[in-house]
Every structure is written in C-alpha cells, then in structure tokens.
Structure 1
Amino acid sequence: MMKAQLILPVVVVLGAAVLSSLFIVDEREKALVLQFGQVKQVKETPGLGFKIPLIQEVVKYDSRILGLPTQPMEVTPLDDRRLVVDAFARWRISDLIEFREAVGAGGVDAAQTRLDRILNAAIREVLGSVPSNRVLSEDRTALMNLIRDRARVESGALGIEVIDVRLTRTDLPEQNLAATFARMRAEREREAADEIARGGEAAQRVRATADRTVVELTSEARRMAEVARGEADAERNGIYAEAFGRDPEFFAFTRSLTSYERSLQSGNSSIVMQPDSEFFTYLRSDLAPADRADAPTPAPVTTTP
C-alpha cells in the first residue's frame, strides 16, 4: 500500500515530464528548440517534436508568405518632381537560424520593422534614378522588380526572402495637386480654344464657298431667265408682226379690245380725253373704220402688263 502511494506521484511526475517534452508543429509553422538562448534544434516539417523539459524551450514562427505594407513616403525622381509612393511587399522566413540571430526575441514584428527600412531605402534609390514619367506610367514592372532584387539582397542577412514588391500608389503631393490640375485644365482649355478657332475658320470657309456658289447660281439663273425672256419677247413680237401683216384691220381691232379691257377695269385711274379720240373709234359705230370713208385708221393704245 505504501509502495502504491509512492509510485503514483512518481508516475504523475514522469507523465508530466514526458508531456512537457513533447511539442507539435503545425503545417503553417516552423519551430526552433532553444537552450539558454542557443539554437539546439530546427523543426521545419509538421509533426511531433521533443525537447528537454525545463531546460529547453520551443519558439514557433509563421512559415507562410507574409505581407508588409509600407507607409506613404515622398521620393524625388531624377527630374526633381516630388511624388508620394507606397508599396506592398510579400516575404517569408527562409533561414530560421539566421532569422533568430538577426531579430532575436522580437520575432516577426522586429523583422517587419527592419524590412520596412530596407524597402524604403530600395524604393528611394530606384525611383530616384529615373524620371517621374516612368514612375507614373502604367508599365512599372521593371522598377518593381529592381526594388525587389535590391531589397532581397539586403534582407538576406535577416534570414528573409523577399518574394515580390508592388507599388500600390504613385501620386503627387496634396499641395501640388491643385496646381497640377489647374495647369492641366488650362492646357485642355487652350486645346479646346484652338479646336474652336479651327472649327470657326473651317465654317467660315464653307460659308463663303456656299455664298459664292449661291451668287454664281443666282447670276446664272438670272442670265438664263433674261435670255429666255428675250427669246420669248422676240417670238411674241414676231407673232404680232406676222399677224399684223396678214390682217392689219383685225389686228388693230383686237388690240383695241385689249386696250378697252385693261383701261376700263374697276379701280383704274380716270382717263381724260376728247370724245372724238381715236380710242373710241370702235365704240361710236357698228361699222369698222375700214367701212367708213372718212374714218381714220385707229391707233391702238398699248399698255404694258
């Protein structure tokens, strides 16, 4: 009975010692076994590990790819045009022993602080060697790769591998945006004014051409109308002459009737003449002037329409 009472505490102590000597490494982690601050074991594969209880300790680190966004910074490209730039880096721990020796107990936080300084220096160095139009262009892959390569070289001593660096923003400083926008607006307004002036000039040329064409067409139409009118008058006069030659009395009679019709219409002005005027020859007698020996040949009154 006494032996059982003594064995039970021993078994409990041994069990606790065995349990405290075991540790589990997840597939997302890497682990170091330290003894008085010195690395005694590296565990990079997932599974069960062993350590000496009370003497050794286990420190675990994230084995996944981590991200680090940088703070916005002002850089001065080759053409002395200031820009505000920030970036995003992806990195991972490549050598646990070097990482531990470089950052100590600070772990990932200390590593990111030092990596942030390395990235800032690489960004300033690379972007300061090129003009701003290359930085502001859409094709910045070469610049980002150059920043990554320089940061990778510097961070190698930390046991860190920089996988990728991306520039997330490249803008002008806030105090320069208003002036830049005003300059861009003035430039666009100048271009618009030039286009309006060129359009007005082209419209004026088209309008002048159209006016000249109207004048030419109107003149030609008037000329053709005058020619047609002259030909018609000549044909009319020819018809009148032919009719007069065939029967002068009948021609005089018809012309007198036409004169009566035009002069005796309502609304015409009054006509004052002698009663024995030749105008009334065909109104005074049923006989034509040719049937009377003393009747003179009437002179028809011609009225222009």
Structure 2
Amino acid sequence: MSPKAMFSLIVLGLILLVGSQSVYVINETERAIRLKFGEVVEADIEPGIHVKTPFVDNIKRFDARVLTLDTTPSRLLTSGKKYVIVDSYAKWRIKDVRAYYKATSGDRLQASNLLANLVNKGLRDEIAARTLHDVVSGERDELMTKLTASLNTQTQGDLGIEVLDLRVKAVDLPDDLSNSVYDRMSAEREREAREYRSQGKELAEGIRADADRQKTVIEAEAYRDAERTRGEGDAEAARIYAAAYNKDPEFYAFTRSLKAYTETFSKGDVLLLKPDSDFFRYMKDAKGK
C-alpha cells in the first residue's frame, strides 16, 4: 500500500471517529444531560438525535420510566406505644434531571437509598401520630395520600424526583406482640364460647322442662280421653246388653249358662256340686225350671 493510500485511510478513520463522537441518540425512555469538563451545560435533553463536541462533552443518560422502590420492612412506633412492622413501596420517576444529577451523581442506587430514607422518616412521623387501629384500617388511605404529597414536595426540591404513589403492603405486629395479641384474642373467644355454651345450656334446660310439661299434660289428657271413651264404651255395651236381655231374659240366661258350662268343664276337671244346684238347672230342664 502506498503512503498516499495509507494517509487517506488514517484520515477517513479519524473522520469516522470524530463523527461517531459528535452524534448521539436519546431514546424515548431516557432523560439525559450534557457535561463539559464535569460541569452541566445542558439539562433535560429531548429524545432524538443530537450533536456534541467530541472528546469534550460527556452525555449522561438516566431511565425516564416509572421506577419502583421496594423498601425494607421497618419497625415503627405508634402513638399508643405499640410497635408495628411496616412494609411499603413507592413509585417514582426523575422530574428534574439537573437536580437529580447534583443530588445523586446519576447513581440510581444512591437515589433509591436517599428516597428510602425519606420514605422511612415520613412513615415514622405519620405513624407516631396515629394509633394502631388507625394505622391498620382507620386512616390508612388518608395516611398514604398525605405522606405522598409531603414526600413529593421534599424530593422534587432536593432530589429532582417525583413520587407518584406510596403504598403500605403490610402492617404486621412484632412476634412478641403478636403472641400477646393472639393470647388475648384466644382468651376473649374462649370467654365468649363459655358464655354462649352457658346460654345454650340454660335455653336447653328451659326447652326440655317445657317439653316434659307438655308431655305430662298430653299423657294426662290422653288418659282422660281414653278413660272417658272406655267408660262410654262400657256404658254403651251395658246398655246393649241390657236391651238384649230385656228382649228375651230367658234366652239370655240360657246362653250365659252355656258359656259358663263351656268355660267351667274341661278335660280332667272335677267339680263337686249339689245335684239340685241352680248351676245344672238347664241340664234338668230346657226351660230352666
């Protein structure tokens, strides 16, 4: 290769190198600043193709999307001097690129740590002003809304970060307090169970006593009705017998004697009577004379 061709290749390489160092692209999901010798000369560069001074300007890119900060669960104290374990998360994004770079040097980990400290401090202050019931259920939404607004004011000015939302994932009691609460709840439920059993036993005794009373009354009334019916039946039978007897007293006496003979005499029985006894009057005379 001739010296002229070699020189042309070197010049072409230098042109390509300078060109590549002069043009840069910012994506839609990025925010960027331009530095000259470490000093910010342009902040919040719009997405697109841009030109810079090669080997002098330095471009710093940051994620412009909504990011999630998942904080470490913290042990916080309520106004009632009860400890709770609060697990929370925050949604945030870069609002002011210049302030963000000055506060964090563009380090996302450092930004997360600073934001986590602010979130933890805000939660501690808000929970310290509320009771355990308010933290768990009563004023939880109000607490999150108020804390998000106060954090936004602080982080936008100090860190260039906008906090979009702050939520508590869980509020748990420490193990020692959880055991105490569980024991108290168990004792309370046991007391209620004993009370319900006592009330049920008392009600059962009342129902059983009323059932026994009703049983006695029903049996007495049934016996009364049965005796009345039996008496009426006996009276009706006596009336029928009397009516039948009055129609033919002789025949009635004859049939009664025959029945007496049948029931009295059986195989092997011996009966000693006087021959002139009335018992044999129908044997001596068909008319019983």
Task: Give yes or no for TM over 0.5.
Answer: yes
Q: How does 1:242-281 map to 2 (within 5 A)?
A: 242-264=243-265, 273-276=272-275, 278=277, 280-281=279-280
TM superposition shift of 1:73: 0.7
SS state at 1:60 partner: strand
Deviations 1:279-303 (A, max 9, x none): 631464244332xxxxxxxxxxxxx
Who is 2:70 aligned against?
69
TM-score by length of 2: 0.86
Who is 2:140 aligned against?
140
SS state at 2:72 partner: coil
Partners of 1:65 and 1:114 in 2: how far apart?
17
Is residue 224 of structure 2 the alignment partner of residue 223 of structure 1? yes
TM superposition shift of 1:272: 5.7
> What are structure 2's unaligned runs of at least 5 residues?
none
Equivalent AA in structure 1 for residue 239 of structure 2: G
Query: 2:85, 2:173 within 8 Å by CA — same for their partners in 1?
Result: yes
Who is 2:57 aligned against?
56
Query: 1:21, 1:52 within 8 Å by CA — same for their partners in 2?
Result: yes
Q: How does 1:194-209 map to 2 (within 5 A)?
A: 194-209=195-210
TM superposition shift of 1:46: 1.4
Equivalent AA in structure 1 for residue 68 of structure 2: G
Equivalent AA in structure 1 for residue 123 of structure 2: I
Who is 2:177 aligned against?
176
Comparing 21-30 with 243-252, greater Cα deviation is found at 243-252
TM superposition shift of 1:64: 0.8
SS state at 1:92 partner: strand
SS state at 2:43 partner: strand
SS state at 1:207 partner: helix
Partners of 1:137 and 1:51 in 2: how far apart?
55
Q: CA 1:142 to 1:262, structure 2 compared with 1: closer, same or farther past 3 Å?
A: farther
TM-score by length of 1: 0.82
TM superposition shift of 1:39: 0.4
Who is 2:284 aligned against?
285
TM superposition shift of 1:213: 2.0
Q: How does 1:8-157 map to 2 (within 5 A)?
A: 9-104=10-105, 107-137=107-137, 140-156=140-156, 157=158
SS state at 1:137 partner: helix
Equivalent AA in structure 2 for residue 84 of structure 1: I
SS state at 1:39 partner: strand
Partners of 1:240 and 1:2 in 2: how far apart?
161
Partners of 1:263 and 1:200 in 2: how far apart?
63
Q: CA 1:280 to 1:227, structure 2 compared with 1: closer, same or farther past 3 Å?
A: same
Q: CA 1:242 to 1:26, structure 2 compared with 1: closer, same or farther past 3 Å?
A: closer
Q: CA 1:65 to 1:243, structure 2 compared with 1: closer, same or farther past 3 Å?
A: closer
Who is 2:190 aligned against?
189
SS state at 2:122 partner: helix
Q: CA 1:260 to 1:196, structure 2 compared with 1: closer, same or farther past 3 Å?
A: farther
Query: 1:26, 1:47 within 8 Å by CA — same for their partners in 2?
Result: yes
> What are structure 1's unaligned runs of at least 5 residues?
291-305
Q: CA 1:13 to 1:241, structure 2 compared with 1: closer, same or farther past 3 Å?
A: closer
Who is 1:299 aligned against?
none
Query: 1:83, 1:171 within 8 Å by CA — same for their partners in 2?
Result: yes
Query: 1:25, 1:43 within 8 Å by CA — same for their partners in 2?
Result: no
Equivalent AA in structure 1 for residue 188 of structure 2: E
